[in-house]
Amino acid sequence: MRQFYLTFPIYHALRDELSWTHYRLLMRVENEKARAFYLEETVKSNWSTRQLERQINSFFYERILSSKNKKAVSEEIHRLEAEKTPGDIIKDPFVLEFLGINANTIFTKASLNKP
């Protein structure tokens, strides 16, 4: 929490669109300009935490700075990182092992409605 406060001292400037995990990843970025860039890109492009981590690890900010064709680099990222749709959230798997259900059982909406 102390590191969070030192990294983001102006608490009312925090973005509602980002989760705690987003902020934890952003705290690892030492360069303030790079951190601000990743923060803005995450909000603008609606990156998940995995996408943000991938961009940080692939040095997206540094590649943009060193590239003569910044638009091509940015388009490459947007092409490789498809935007999530509301349907993608529904497709995420749920871990229901606490129910004692066999792991290989296939569930469908129809099979759940059967008595």
- Closest by alpha carbon to 41, among 85, 7, 58? 58
Q: What is the pLDDT of residues 20-51, one digit of tens each?
A: 899 999 999 999 999 988 998 888 888 889 98
Burial 58-76 (b: 16+ CB within 10 A, else e): eebbeebeeeeeeeeebee
Give me the pLDDT at residue 24, please.
92
Q: What is the pLDDT of residues 55-103, one digit of tens each?
A: 899 888 888 888 776 676 666 666 655 566 666 656 656 666 677 766 6
Q: CA distances (Å), 23 to each of 95, 100, 102, in order?
A: 25, 35, 37
